[in-house]
Every structure is written in structure tokens, then in C-alpha cells.
Amino acid sequence: MPATPTNQQNGSSALTQIPLEPFAQANGQVVQARERWNRPRINTYRLAAIFFAFLVFGMNDGSYGALVPYIEQDYHLSYIVTSLVFLSPFAGYTVAALFSDRLHMFVGRRGIAIIAPSCKVISYAVIAAHPPYPAVVAILAITGLGNGLLDAAWNAWIGTLAQTNQLLGLLHGFYGLGATISPLISTSMITQGHLGWWTFFYIMTGLSALEILTGTWAFWSETGAKYIDVNRTDGADKGMTRKALKQKVTWICASFLLCYVGLEVSLGGWIVNFMIRVRKAQPFPSGMTATGFWLGLTVGRVVLGFITPMIGERIAVSAYLVVAVGCELVFWLVPQFIVSAVAVALVGFFTGPIFPSTIIAVTKLLPSEMHVAAIGFSAAVGGSGAALLPFAIGAIAQAKGPATLQPIVLALIAVLLGIWLTLPRMPKRLHEA
């Protein structure tokens, strides 16, 4: 962010407390270079805490696909009623979208590190008690709030660091890793250990409690007052969410992430059901196809996360989506289990880096003071897509059958490509104001 002599003086005390990279020249203006992942040293521990949080986040989202058939069987539910487990978190994500920036101002990142995983501990503990199905649906709204807050906060924080593209690729790689191992763990607990589906949430409760400890320790000094001091200039300490919402880029990225996260969770969430009902596979190998999808997504985020900045986000994401269309066509039109399993893993691989690339787009196209509000809103709207679209697919499957999953996924990829191409030209590095 360009620094004027006035705000350099006003922020001098803050700058002496935060060891940053030296000042540099950009477009003829003096700009303060970004912090790095290992400078100051506390950032190393913060990054580790965030990676762990996203591992748990991924385990949450990845577990749905493996658990849905057993929830449906346990409570004797139809597709559309089972789909409420996807829809319920929408309420929590909506609250997170509207109040993430304001909550940062009151409690800082330290408060987010406490509140977000606490929401998950409460909801997971209730689900682990195997309550009636309406209670499961209701409590998942609190899960959505916790995940929406951490999604917004930690994406925005990493967006302030140097080497953002690579770090976001790793961050979402940990999300994908969590989503990869959770179907394996939950399916093994149910099919091999003969345990109830709800016992998986004992693990989730313990991991979320550990997330409170690690995040709180790492971000203890990040108070609301410090957040305001670092991120607000010229008295613009209120209404940043309103300002971000006036930017076309915010709405394009929010719409894009709504479709993308909806695609991701829909495919990961319904693939097991599709393999059992349409491909006529056994439960355990069907559960492994969900693991294959999330593994492909994880590897794609890490590997392609280093290739994307070389090509440029706009061209790279467009190319990934075109290849994903081809993989999805193979998945849909070749009715063999092995081919379907490989194709869905490749869809995961090529769509994997899309979320972090979208966050990069926001940081390049908007001023730094809008990053938390814009990224927070876009990420939370994306989380809403994880609720709305899987529910819609469940409702369609109720009427037309689970085979409708594939044409819907194909249409979503095409819509993603269309939305992405409406973004303005991106600068190579920093926001060009």
C-alpha cells in the first residue's frame, strides 16, 4: 500500500514493533514491503497454526461424502432431507460474511482464533452425542459460522504476506489433505470398525479443541486495536465492508467462489452416493473415490500453485477449467468404475488451485485496506455455495435420480469459466492504484 509521509509518521511506532522487509520502490512510489512467512519469527508459528486449522476445516468438508449414505440410512431419510446437512451451514456462513471485518476490529485475529474453533467444538460435541436429525441440522449452522470466520480471516492474513500464491497453495493443500484423509478415516471406522457414523465427530471435537490452543497462542498479540492500527488509514476505520461491496471485483470473486466451492463440495459430497447407486460399486471402494478426488485436489493445489504465477492467474485458471471440462466428460460418459475414479481425481487436480488463485486476484485488484473485508466476504459467500449447491443437487437427485450429478457438475465448470473471464486485467504483482 502506498505510504505518504503523514501516515508514515502516524504509524512509526507500529512499524518499529513489526519487523518488516525494507522499503521498496513501486511505480515511482515508496511502499512498505510485505512481511514474509518467516519474518518476523512468530509468523512461522502462525502459519503452522493456520495450516492445522485448514487441515481440520478440510476434514469437515471431506467427511460429508463418506457419511451421507450412513446418515441417510440411520435416520431413514430421502435425498432432499439428507441434503439439509449441506444447507444448514449457510446461515453461519452468511453471518461470517457480513460481520468478519467488524469482528476483526473488536477482537482482532486473536479473537477469531478463539471464537471460530470454539463454534466447531460445540457443534461437533453435540453431533457426537448422536442426537435426533433435526438437532444435527440445526447445530451445523454453528459449524458454518466457525468455518466461515476462519476461512475469511486466514485467507486474508496470508494474502498480506510475500509469496502469497505459493503460501495460499500450501494453505489450501492442507485443506485438501484434511478432505483426503477424512473419508478414509470415517469410512474405515464405519465399514471396518463397525462404529456409528457419529463417532467420527469425537475426533473432530478433539482436533478443534487443539486448534483453539494453537491459534490463540500464535495470534495472542493480534488484538482488535492492533488490527485497526495496521489496516486503517486516514480515519477510514468504519464501513470497510460497505466500501469493498461497492467494488465490482468483490462481487465477481464472491460469485465465482460460490460456484467453485459449491462444485467442490457437491462433487466430494455426492460422489460416494453416485458410485454406489449409479456405478454399482461396494461401499468401501466408493468411499475411496472421495479420497481420490480430495487427494487430486490437494496435489493440484501444491503442484499447480507453483506453476500458476509463472503463467499468470487469468490464463492459468482458464486453462485448468478447460481441462477439467474434458476430465468431467470422461467421468460422465465412460460408465466404468476405474475410469470414473481416475477422472474424478483429475477433476480435483485441475480445479485444486482455483480457490487460492481467486484470493490472489482480490489482493492484486483491490487496495490492501479492503483485503480483509473483500476476501472475508468472498470466502464466506463461497462457503455458502458449499451449503446451497449440494442441497440443490440433492433435491434434483430426489426427483431425477443421482445420475444427474455429472451434467450439473459439467455445467458448473462452464459457468465458472464464464465468470472468471469477466475479471479485469490483473497486474503482475502488487495492486496498481
Structure pTM?
0.77
Q: Of the ranges 92-101, 314-323, 418-427, which one carries the lowest mean pLDDT score?
A: 92-101
pLDDT (0 to 100) of residue 284: 82
pLDDT (0 to 100) of residue 361: 87
Give percent above pLDDT 90 in the chain.
36
- What pLDDT digit, counting tens, does each position of 188-212 carry? 999 888 999 999 999 999 999 999 9
Alpha carbon of 268 to those of 80, 98, 120, 375: distances in Å?
A: 17, 27, 21, 24
Give the Cα separation of 60 and 397 in Å (integer). 23
pLDDT at 23 over 60: no
- What pLDDT digit, counting tens, does each position of 342-368 carry? 999 999 999 988 988 898 888 888 887
